[in-house]
Amino acid sequence: MHVRWTLAAAALALAAFSPRGSAQGANATTPGAAEGAAAGTGAGGKVSADRIEGKVVMVDANARELAIDAGDATTQVHVADDAKVTVDGKAAKLSDVAQGAEVRVSLDRKGDMPAASTIEVHHTKKK
């Protein structure tokens, strides 16, 4: 009986700290990031309930996943199949989004897990 409780406790602990098993519901890697609990600013980024702005730290076009560092929070989100992606205002694909790019991502919270519905990449112009 003791072994069952130990295994159950270990499974719950693993689920609680796993990005996919997170109770946050949006693959957040920082507590409250995807929920918009912290409208964090820092390193030029922002997180709100329906939008994330910051720097791309990971792009996986095959898995349709994107991680954004908004300064106070790093958030990993799923990208919807029909997400609109633009780079400097021009239509693009998720595979065109580069690590390190500055992005603004809008979230669709209709389903069980929030998903990116629009991804806007903005490059700063060199002077």
Q: What is the pTM of this model?
A: 0.63
Note whether residue 11 is domain-resident. Answer: no
Report pLDDT for 70. 93
CATH of the domain at 57: 2.40.50.320
Question: Residue 58 is part of which domain span?
Answer: 25-121
Note whether residue 48 is domain-resident. Answer: yes
Q: For 5-27, what is the mean pLDDT?
A: 38
Report pLDDT for 107. 95
What confidence category does residue 33 fall into, taking pLDDT thresholds of 50, 70 and 90?
very low
Spatial separation of the C-alpha atoms in residues 62 and 50, rounded to whole Å: 24
